[in-house]
Structure formats: structure tokens, C-alpha cells
């Protein structure tokens, strides 16, 4: 089920740098109508610096008044002025910070929307692409909490702006004492930054390795909780195996993090050593000036506090850039995911509008298909025409390539060689989203929406045509069941979301999927094993209604049950990656080939059963 996790090669470099990612966030806040995030962040930075400056000057100003024996009224005025200043700036700062939160959450949710849209509409081959899936997992982590990069970046940008502003003001202040001090602090700052920057990049350089560990753990956790796996886990005693797999995945994950942590510790040590050197030199120099009587007590206090404050601005800038760097790596991952290459045309491409009453032709011309990484073709040189209004059945053994053929026809996959043509035009020229409107389908796997039965049939929660919903439910043979429920068509499905929702049986769910396919009045209907979960009566009912259900449309019916394909106009048999036989049911039986052989095997047991019954 799960491969041993192996150490991965180094991840590629991030596509975007800190500046580009910060600009991306600023533009996003602007275009998503959250301009106040920018204004409030800037205001918050200015207020932080203002508060620092008021605090810096309060003691030296009072001391200076005392030193020059200022009148008590002046002294009191100075004290009250500073106290009021501190109170006002603090209050404004608290107000601004409290108001920035919701805007920041909105911008993060905007990214979440963009990622969800990408995940729901990306070209189908991407869904199967390992690199895309890893990027999506990692991107989700970058946006799923308030502390995640997509929101925390605003705090970083705000504190960084404050630190830079403070830095500039303090530089001009300290230059009046000794410009060399500034040089020492700057040099040590740059060295700290470069070391920190390199070491902190470890996380990004190994982000895909980390995402893989997390995917394994999420998968195992998901399986343990998955309703559909609950029976398997119990009956096959899978718990120890799942726990063992989780333990192994957790071990690799912990080892990865211990290694990352030890790398980050070196960044911290380098920062501390350099900060110590900076402070020692600066304080020694100021004490020297006082001893030589070049500096008064109030000035000494001002510069002593300013050096400490300056070091903090510098450390803030250093830390800020390092944090921004890490967050920028995450934002870069999100952007790479959002910009992941789309092999299909969604924005451009020729526009087509499905007309339910019009008849279309689909032709596969010398089509071959090989799955990425596979060593041989699943399908080779297929030539097939689905004539307007034709009912085509596709049969073959497990793994023959029936579903792959259906995916090529529906435009989920593009051929590796050859072309799929709609009314003579290569489908690659069409807008792929438009092309999908041509199809309605029942796939092998069910996808139930967390909603009512009516919304599941209509695949929408507004403008539902209830008459049509009832008609389709009736055709799918589910009317009696639905109408026996107290809430009828408004009954909720999906217990994971709605308390008290009902659980349909496998066969009932399959009929619901059929009703959904019928509701969408598309020119083509694709049915991939639509009776696999049905009982014999429901199955026979469906065969009888098949003509009625598909009337006026072209249909592709994939099935293992050869008898079920009788009602189709033509049957094709897929074998050895190609179409081995073609004709009506009777023609294929007469041919006496593989189809006839398989039909014989399938019908044998029924016949034997009938014979046994007869003997009794």
C-alpha cells in the first residue's frame, strides 16, 4: 500500500524571491478589496516606532530638566506630556493592531479560494501528477492557520517596516556620536543575515521531502478514520499494520525535523555571538566618552538606551528578513502550485456550446496512450468512430484499458499519439471546460456531495428543476426509496458533515449517480460499470430502460457483463491494447472469437444452474 519513504534529492530552487512574494501579497490585498490591510499595517509600524521614540526620550528629558534645575511646573509638564504621549500612542497602536486581524484572514482565505479553484479545475493529468500533489499538500499547510505564512507574513512585513524605520532614525542619532559604531553594527548584521539566510533555507530546499512524510501520515490517519475503510480494517485486522506504517512514517518525519532543527540552531548561535560583540564594543566606547567628560549624564542615558535600541532594530531586521525568507519560501510554493502548468486549454481555446438535441460525432484517429512512467502503452493505435446517436458498448478484461479509453473520449487525458476529434476537430483546440459540457457520466467511483438528494441530482443548490429531479430519480429506479424518507428529496446525505444524514446503500448510491447523469442533459452519456452495485432486478430494469434513458444521445457503456451490452448498437472488445473485435452481440457470438468465449464462460454458470434446477 505504502512504499518505504526514501530520502529525496534536493528540492529545486524557489521560483520567486522575498521581494516578489511580498509584492504578490501586497497586490493580492489590493485587488481582493482588503486595502485596509496595507494601510493599517503601515500605521501599526509607524506607531510602534513612535512609541519607541517616546520611551527613548522620556528618561533623558526628565533627567535633563532635573540637571538644569528646571522649575517644578516645567518638570511636571514634561512628565505629564510624556505620559500622555505614551498613553495616546499605545492606545492608537492597540486599536490599529486589533483591527488588522480580519483583513489579514480575508486575504489568506482569498488564497485558499484560489487554491481550491485550482485543485477543482486543474487539467486532469495534474491530479495524477506526484509533483503537483506534493505542491498542493505543502501549499495547504501555508494557508491553513493564522500562524501560516499567508497570514503571518503581514506581521513580519509590519515589524520589518517598523525596524527599518527605527533603524534609519537611530542611525542619524548615533552618527552624531561615532559613525564607526554604525559601521561595526552594520558589518556584524550583514554577516548574521547571510549565515541565517543560508541555514534557514534548509526547510525550503527540503520541502518536498517534508511534504511526502506528511502525505504518508495524513493518508494513514485518513484511512483509520475513513468510513468506507472501517469494515476492512476490522475484518482484516488492519490496525497493527496501520500503526506500524504510521510509526515508520512518524520516525522519518521526526528524523527530518531533528536534522532541520540542528541546522537552525547554528543560525541562532552565529546571531548571538555577533550580537554580543556589537554590544560590548558600543558600551565600552560610550563609557570611555563619559570617563573623558565628553558626554553628560542625560546624553549618556540617551545614547546608552539608543545603542541597546539600535541593536534591537538591527536584530529585528535580521530576524525579520529571516522570517520573511521562510514565509516567502512558503508563498513561493503556493504560487508555484497556482501557476502549475495546465496542459489543457481552459482560459482560451475554441468555444463550443453543448446542444442537447444536436447529434455529434467523436472519432479516435490512430490514438495511443501511455501513462507517465509506464513502460508500455495501455492503448495502441485505436481507430474508432462514435457515430451520432450511437449506443456503443466497450468490453474487455480487467486492466484492458476500457476506463482509459473513456478518459480519452471525455478529454480527461490527451493521447500520447494520434487525435480525438469532435465533429472532425481535434479536441485539443477546444476550451476544455466547454468540451466537458458535452458529457454526462456515471463513473466507477461515487462522489456524493454534502447536501440534499435534490442537490446531488441537480449538482447545484439553486434553480433546481424539481420535476426533472423526480423524473430522473424515477428512471434510475429510486423514487420509492426517496419518497419513503420523511424529508424526501430534501434528505441530507453525507454523515461526515450533517448529523442525522442518511447513508444510502451501494446500489442506491449508484442509482443516484445515474439519476444525476440523466439530469444533466448532455449530448453524450458515459456509463462505466453502472450496474456493478445493482441487484439483478434493478439491473434488468436498467437494461429495459436504457433506450429510454439514452434516447437522443450518444452513449458509451463499459461493462464486464457481456449480456448487458446486447441493447447497444455496437460492441467493441478491448484486448492487447487494441480493439480486437467489433460488431453487434449476435455478430460477435457468430464470430466465435474472444467475446464469444467470454460470453460462454459467463453464461455457463447460469445455464448449469438452470440445468441443476431442472433435474431437481
Ligand X SMILES: Nc1ncnc2c1ncn2[C@@H]1O[C@H](COP(=O)(O)OP(=O)(O)OP(=O)(O)O)[C@@H](O)[C@H]1O
- Per-residue DSSP letter, 427: G
DSSP 365-393: EEEEE--TT-SS-SEEEEEEEE-TT-EEE
Q: How far is the CB of 406 from ligand X (least distance, A)?
A: 8
595 in contact with ligand X (CB under 6 A): no
96 in contact with ligand X (CB under 6 A): no
- Per-residue DSSP letter, 616: -
400 in contact with ligand X (CB under 6 A): yes
393 in contact with ligand X (CB under 6 A): no
Q: How far is the CB of 3 from ligand X (least distance, A)?
A: 15
Residue span binding ligand X (CB under 6 A) among the ranges 85-93, 401-409, 479-487, 515-523:
401-409
Residue list 441-470, contact with ligand X (CB under 6 A): none
Residue span binding ligand X (CB under 6 A) among the ranges 28-36, 172-180, 188-196, 391-399:
391-399
Q: How far is the CB of 127 from ligand X (least distance, A)?
A: 9
Residue span binding ligand X (CB under 6 A) among the ranges 14-22, 32-40, 245-253, 371-379:
371-379
How many Å separate Cα 172 from the centre of its chain? 47
In the complex with ligand X, which residue's Cβ is closer, 52 or 378? 378
Q: Which of 153, 538, 548 is nearest to 324 (CA)?
A: 153
404 in contact with ligand X (CB under 6 A): yes
- Residue 263 CB burial class (10 angstroms; 0-12, 13-18, ≥19): middle
Q: How far is the CB of 372 from ligand X (least distance, A)?
A: 7
Q: Determine contact, residues 563/598, Cβ cutoff 8 Å.
A: no
Mapping DSSP to helix (H, G, I), strand (E, B) and coil, where does residue 394 land? strand
Residue span binding ligand X (CB under 6 A) among the ranges 109-117, 399-407, 426-434, 608-616:
399-407
Q: How far is the CB of 376 from ligand X (least distance, A)?
A: 10
Residue list 108-127, contact with ligand X (CB under 6 A): none
Q: Which of 8, 20, 90 is nearest to 328 (CA)?
A: 20
44 in contact with ligand X (CB under 6 A): no
374 in contact with ligand X (CB under 6 A): yes
398 in contact with ligand X (CB under 6 A): yes
Cell numbers at residue 268, please? 541562532
Distance (Å, whole) CA 460 – CA 450: 11
Sole binder of ligand X in the list 128, 232, 535, 587 (CB under 6 A): 128
What value does the CA radius of gyration of the chain take, rounded to a whole number of Å? 35
In the complex with ligand X, which residue's Cβ is closer, 202 or 371? 371
Contacts with ligand X by CB under 6 A: the residue count is: 12
399 in contact with ligand X (CB under 6 A): yes
| H or E stretch covering 312 | helix 297-338
- Per-residue DSSP letter, 351: -
Sole binder of ligand X in the list 126, 192, 378, 452 (CB under 6 A): 378
Q: How far is the CB of 394 from ligand X (least distance, A)?
A: 8
Going from the C-alpha of 93 to that of each of 41, 54, 137, 275, the distances in angstroms are 10, 13, 37, 29
Sole binder of ligand X in the list 403, 429, 431, 521 (CB under 6 A): 403
Strands 524-528 and 554-558: parallel
Residue span binding ligand X (CB under 6 A) among the ranges 222-230, 303-311, 393-401, 515-523:
393-401
Side-by-side strand order, sheet with 554-558: 439-442, 524-528, 554-558, 391-396, 570-575, 578-583
Going from the C-alpha of 363 to that of each of 58, 119, 335, 521, the distances in angstroms are 84, 30, 38, 21
Phi and psi at residue 555, in whole multiples of 5°? -135, 150
Q: How far is the CB of 569 from ligand X (least distance, A)?
A: 21
Q: Determine contact, residues 479/473, Cβ cutoff 8 Å.
A: yes
Q: How far is the CB of 439 from ligand X (least distance, A)?
A: 17
Sole binder of ligand X in the list 396, 411, 415, 418 (CB under 6 A): 396
Q: How far is the CB of 398 from ligand X (least distance, A)?
A: 4
Q: Which of 478, 469, 470 is nearest to 505 (CA)?
A: 478
Phi and psi at residue 491, in whole multiples of 5°? -65, 135
First to last CA, the chain: 48
Q: How far is the CB of 407 from ligand X (least distance, A)?
A: 7
Residue list 278-337, contact with ligand X (CB under 6 A): none
Sole binder of ligand X in the list 401, 411, 523, 530 (CB under 6 A): 401
Q: Which residues bind ligand X (CB under 6 A)?
A: 128, 371, 374, 378, 396, 398-404
Amino acid at each position: 500500500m505504502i512504499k518505504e519513504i526514501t530520502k529525496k534529492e534536493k528540492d529545486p530552487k524557489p521560483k520567486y524571491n522575498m521581494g516578489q512574494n511580498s509584492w504578490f501579497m501586497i497586490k493580492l490585498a489590493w485587488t481582493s478589496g482588503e486595502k485596509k490591510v496595507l494601510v493599517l499595517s503601515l500605521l501599526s509600524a509607524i506607531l510602534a516606532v513612535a512609541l519607541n521614540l517616546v520611551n527613548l526620550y522620556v528618561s533623558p528629558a526628565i533627567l535633563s530638566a532635573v540637571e538644569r534645575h528646571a522649575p517644578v511646573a516645567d518638570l511636571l509638564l514634561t512628565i505629564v506630556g510624556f505620559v500622555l504621549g505614551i498613553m495616546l500612542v499605545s492606545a492608537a497602536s492597540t486599536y490599529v493592531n486589533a483591527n488588522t486581524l480580519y483583513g489579514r484572514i480575508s486575504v489568506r482565505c482569498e488564497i485558499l479560494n484560489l487554491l481550491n479553484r485550482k485543485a477543482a479545475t486543474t487539467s486532469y493529468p495534474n491530479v495524477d501528477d506526484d509533483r503537483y500533489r506534493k505542491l498542493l499538500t505543502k501549499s495547504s499547510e501555508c494557508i491553513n492557520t493564522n500562524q501560516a505564512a499567508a497570514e503571518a507574513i503581514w506581521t513580519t512585513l509590519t515589524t520589518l517596516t517598523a525596524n527599518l524605520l527605527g533603524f534609519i532614525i537611530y542611525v542619524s542619532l548615533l552618527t552624531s556620536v561615532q559613525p564607526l559604531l554604525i559601521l561595526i553594527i552594520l558589518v556584524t548584521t550583514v554577516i548574521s543575515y547571510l549565515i541565517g539566510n543560508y541555514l534557514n533555507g534548509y526547510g525550503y530546499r527540503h520541502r518536498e521531502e517534508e511534504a511526502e512524510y506528511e502525505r504518508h501520515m495524513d493518508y494513514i490517519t485518513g484511512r483509520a478514520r475513513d468510513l468506507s475503510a472501517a469494515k476492512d480494517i476490522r475484518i482484516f485486522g488492519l490496525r497493527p499494520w496501520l500503526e506500524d506504517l504510521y510509526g515508520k512514517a512518524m520516525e522519518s518525519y521526526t528524523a527530518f525535523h531533528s536534522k532541520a532543527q540542528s541546522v537552525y540552531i547554528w543560525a541562532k548561535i552565529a546571531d548571538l555571538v555577533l550580537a554580543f560583540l556589537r554590544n560590548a564594543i558600543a558600551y565600552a566606547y560610550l563609557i570611555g566618552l563619559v570617563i573623558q567628560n565628553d558626554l553628560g549624564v542625560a546624553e549618556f542615558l540617551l545614547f546608552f538606551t539608543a545603542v541597546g535600541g539600535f541593536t534591537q532594530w538591527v536584530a529585528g531586521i535580521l530576524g525579520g528578513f529571516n522570517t520573511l525568507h521562510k514565509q516567502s519560501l512558503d508563498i513561493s510554493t503556493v504560487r508555484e502550485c497556482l501557476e502549475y502548468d495546465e496542459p489543457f486549454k481552459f482560459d482560451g481555446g475554441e468555444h463550443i456550446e453543448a446542444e442537447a438535441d444536436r447529434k455529434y460525432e467523436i472519432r479516435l484517429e490512430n490514438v495511443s496512450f501511455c501513462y507517465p512512467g509506464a513502460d508500455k502503452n495501455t492503448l495502441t493505435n485505436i481507430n474508432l468512430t462514435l457515430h451520432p446517436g450511437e449506443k456503443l458498448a466497450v468490453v474487455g478484461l480487467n486492466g484492458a484499458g476500457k476506463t482509459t479509453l473513456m478518459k480519452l473520449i471525455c478529454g480527461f487525458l490527451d493521447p500520447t499519439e494520434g487525435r480525438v476529434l469532435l465533429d472532425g476537430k481535434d479536441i485539443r483546440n477546444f476550451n476544455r471546460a466547454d468540451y466537458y459540457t458535452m458529457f454526462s457520466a456515471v463513473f466507477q467511483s461515487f462522489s456524493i456531495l454534502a447536501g440534499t438528494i435534490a442537490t446531488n441530482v441537480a449538482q447545484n443548490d439553486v434553480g433546481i428543476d424539481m420535476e426533472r429531479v423526480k423524473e430522473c430519480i424515477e428512471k434510475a429506479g429510486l423514487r420509492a426509496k426517496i419518497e419513503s424518507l420523511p424529508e424526501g428529496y430534501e434528505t441530507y446525505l453525507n454523515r461526515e458533515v450533517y448529523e442525522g444524514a442518511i447513508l444510502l446503500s451501494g446500489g442506491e448510491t449508484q442509482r443516484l449517480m445515474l439519476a444525476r447523469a440523466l439530469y444533466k442533459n448532455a449530448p453524450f452519456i458515459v456509463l462505466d460499470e453502472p450496474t456493478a452495485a445493482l441487484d439483478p432486478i434493478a439491473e434488468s430494469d436498467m437494461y429495459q430502460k436504457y433506450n429510454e434513458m439514452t434516447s437522443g444521445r450518444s452513449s458509451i457503456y463499459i461493462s464486464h457483463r457481456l449480456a448487458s451490452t446486447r441493447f447497444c448498437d455496437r460492441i467493441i472488445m478491448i484486448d492487447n491494447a487494441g480493439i480486437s473485435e467489433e460488431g453487434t452481440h449476435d455478430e460477435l457470438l457468430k464470430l466465435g472469437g474472444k467475446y464469444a468465449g467470454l460470453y460462454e464462460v459467463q453464461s455457463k454458470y447460469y445455464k448449469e444452474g438452470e440445468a441443476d434446477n431442472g433435474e431437481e
